[in-house]
Amino acid sequence: MSGTPTAVVVAAALTHEGTLLLAQRTRPPELAGLWELPGGKVEPGESEDSALARELREELGVECSIGAALSGDVDLAGGLVLRAYRATLVSGTPAALEHSALRWVDAAMLPTMDLVDADRLWLPELLDILLTS
Ligand code: CDP
């Protein structure tokens, strides 16, 4: 195999007391207003765990512990692959530093949220996590 390695986007299923943190995107225009698992691109030389911890620090101002990956990757436009990991708060209170809003949602609220398409793959697993936590 040759060519450019696949770029990975990591996203967090950050849970706290039976709720999941969703973040509302501000960009690009076609995704603005939709809700996502917060995260971003892994930089060259960075592990996925440290990239996700960095993104959560930058976007939410919190320190998190990164856990297991959720099942399945999502192919995004532009050759990117999206992968999600469990995460828990170590310190701080999340703030919308790069999103327009944050919301902690429970299992009843999650299916009613307008999620970005890519993140919908994980809805059943996220509901399961919320209902068993
Ligand atoms: O901030 P950075 O440029 O590192 O990443 P981003 O713009 O937040 O995400 C890169 C790509 O992944 C965009 O196309 C997002 O729409 C997508 N993404 C997604 O589909 N679901 C997420 N939970 C996070 C990012």
* Ligand 1 and 31: CB distance under 6 A: yes
* Ligand 1 and 13: CB distance under 6 A: no
* 82-99 per-position pLDDT tens digit: 999 999 999 999 999 999
**pLDDT of 35 over the 70 cut:** yes
* Ligand 1 and 41: CB distance under 6 A: yes
Q: Which atom of ligand 1 is nearest to the CA of 27?
A: 7
**pLDDT of 2 over the 60 cut:** no
| C-alpha of residue 39 to centroid of ligand 1, in Å | 7
Predicted confidence at residue 6, as pLDDT, reads: 78
* Ligand 1 and 76: CB distance under 6 A: yes
The Cα 133–Cα 127 span in angstroms is 10
Q: Which atom of ligand 1 is nearest to the CA of 36?
A: 23
* Residue nearest atom 7 of ligand 1, based on CA coordinates: 40
- What is the helix, strand, coil percentage profile of the chain, to 5? 25, 35, 40
pLDDT band at 76 (very low <50, low <70, confident <90, very high): very high
pLDDT band at 4 (very low <50, low <70, confident <90, very high): low
Average pLDDT over residues 67-74: 98
Contacts of 128 (CB under 8 A, 6+ apart): none
Predicted confidence at residue 70, as pLDDT, reads: 98
**pLDDT of 133 over the 90 cut:** no
* 40-58 per-position pLDDT tens digit: 999 999 999 999 999 999 9
